[in-house]
A and B are shown apart, each in its own frame.
Chain A
Amino acid sequence: DSGVTQTPKHLITATGQRVTLRCSPRSGDLSVYWYQQSLDQGLQFLIHYYNGEERAKGNILERFSAQQFPDLHSELNLSSLELGDSALYFCASSVGQGAIGELFFGEGSRLTVL
């Protein structure tokens, strides 16, 4: 158990809908990262928050947004969903800003868009 909690584990929804994925980092970790994993693209970095502030953006679509709250949990909002958004979404946390890759991953939220 990595100590990172993600909910929900599975989510099935329809195109055009909006969903929210939630992540609770390990106790004491200030950084939260969101990744998308698909068979053809692998693990793709979406966004990084450190202590409530956005620090870096990766290949995150404009239809997606995220935030980190004062209690350090984070939410990833996916809107106007398309079939291609079906993927595993991982949250990871670290104490610092990930200099040596010491990220701890949750078990992921599997999103299926029908």
Chain B
Amino acid sequence: QKEVEQDPGPLSVPEGAIVSLNCTYSNSAFQYFMWYRQYSRKGPELLMYTYSSGNKEDGRFTAQVDKSSKYISLFIRDSQPSDSATYLCAMSANSGAGSYQLTFGKGTKLSVIP
């Protein structure tokens, strides 16, 4: 079992839809939880991060973490064609010597159709 599991999709939704992206993980040492967005031919960019269980909102984006279930989600409200990208969940744990390493999910490719 991989440490982080993410459905690769692809996921296609109409403009204005609510999108739900999810990841599960197995390593209890993960402390920080992030979502990165990667446009085609670009590097990933950080969308949101959270530390504790619960919800965190930023504009149309809501990140949700449930540590008891080892499950994280990203919700996108009123999705726009510009949201079309690959979304990667990432989690970090202290790997020693003060270094935190990110473990990424494989990414879910999202297409928002006008």
Binding site for B on A (CB under 8 A): 2, 4, 33, 35, 41-43, 45, 48, 50, 55-56, 58, 90, 92, 97-108
Contact = CB atoms under 8 A, between A and B. Distances in A.
A107 B92 CA distance: 22
Given A45-B102, A48-B101, A56-B97, A2 B92 contact: no
Given A103-B44, A105-B43, A108-B43, 7 more contacts: A4-B43, A48-B101, A50-B99, A98-B92, A100-B92, A100-B100, A106-B43
Contacts of B98: 55, 97
Given A42-B105, A43-B44, A106-B43, A101 B49 contact: yes
Given A4-B43, A100-B92, A101-B90, A42 B106 contact: yes
A21 to B, nearest CB: 14
Interface residues of B, number: 26
Contacts of B49: 100-102
A106 B84 CA distance: 20
Nearest to B50: A100
Contacts of A102: 46, 49
Interface string B77-89: 0000000000010
